[in-house]
Amino acid sequence: MTNPIVTPSRLEHFPISFFAMVMGMSGLTIGWEKAQYILSLDLKVTPWLLGTTSALFVVLALMYTAKLVFKRQAVVAELRHPVKLNFFPTISISLLLLSAAFLPLLPDLALGLWLAGTSLHLVFTLYVVNIWMHHEHFQIQHMNPAWFIPAVGNVIVPVAGVPLGYADVSWFFFSVGMLFWILLMTIIFYRVLFHTPIDERLLPTLFILIAPPAVGFIAYSRLMPELDPFARMLYFSGLFLTLLLFTQAKRFLRLKFFLSWWAYSFPLAAISIATLVMSERSGMVFYQYLGLGLLALLTLIISILLVRTLISVWRGTICVPGH
């Protein structure tokens, strides 16, 4: 039986949002690395998670390259789409996250991935912001938390950038990310409060609201050695948004499966890792238990996402028009 995802018709509709899977898997990998470090354990899971995540990135990169070569107009259409446009930086974010994941094991490889991810993300950020500023077709209904993705990527740069010795570059990207977090957060809440509800397929992207403050806290912890008031503000902002979204669990559980479900994964990974970092910085065991609990929940959710995605690929319900 031919895999439905590799046929020409499927290739044309192969979505750029597939790279959100790499973000989620990378977050899971870094989370388990952090948990093992804090607990002084080696559960032997890091090589498996790193290998799986790297292989996933390579496969998706090859598939999207094939789409660029054989279905160029479909790629151009995504670049011009008011929502899909914001998923292109998931490629550079994946490189940055893989860099952070490889850093403890292979620093030279981590440096190469970081340089590539940082450079590419700057290009994507400039491109996307230029489109935002000079658009002719965006409406307020197009606005959703996926617009945070270009900004979130900037905040990730210091996570590996500071240990690799690029402090000023890290501060630059951190500042850009924080600037756009504040701007976009205001617009998002204006859109949610005063306009039509977000489309059901994009509701999982509400979890992306967690990512900027959670990743911001992790990055700021690299830039600044002390747990200062700004660090606490970032962490507790992310924790509050996590609690807010957890209170809406029934709403999310009723949703039909779409690839957008992967929007649950990376933000939950970010708050899990941030909580483990908080346990280190504060010395409070409560945060260690909370971080490990969130990591266990993340592991369960990503397991479900992988199964549901594989089922959808096998049934041919992904990579079709309108999905």
Residues with Cβ < 8 Å from 261, sequence gap 6 or more?
204, 255, 305, 308
Integer CA distances (angstroms), 319 to 15, 55, 128, 240, 322, in order: 7, 20, 24, 35, 9
Distance between CA atoms of residues 102 and 109, nearest Å: 7
Which domains are present in the chain?
A: 4-315 (1.50.10.150)
DSSP string, 201-267: GGGGGGGGGGHHHHHHHHHHHHH-SS--HHHHHHHHHHHHHHHHHHTTHHHHHTSPP-GGGGGGHHH
As a residue count, the chain comes to 323
For the beta carbon of residue 48, count every other beta carbon within 10 angstroms: 12
Token digits of residue 39: 């607990």
Q: Where are the alpha helices (DSSP H) in the chain?
A: 8-12, 20-39, 46-70, 72-80, 89-102, 107-133, 149-161, 167-194, 211-223, 229-246, 249-253, 265-282, 285-315
Question: Widest CA span of the chain, in angstroms?
Answer: 58
Per-residue pLDDT of the chain (323 residues; tens, 9 = 90+): 344 445 556 788 888 999 999 999 999 999 999 999 999 999 999 999 999 999 999 999 999 999 999 989 999 988 888 888 899 999 999 999 999 999 999 999 999 999 999 999 999 999 999 988 887 777 887 788 888 998 888 999 999 999 999 999 999 999 999 999 999 999 998 988 888 888 888 899 999 999 999 999 999 999 998 999 999 999 999 999 999 999 999 999 888 888 889 999 999 999 999 999 999 999 999 999 999 999 999 999 999 999 999 998 888 777 666 55
Structure tokens of 96?
């940055």
Helix, coil or strand: residue 165 = coil
Separation of alpha carbons 242 and 237, rounded Å: 9
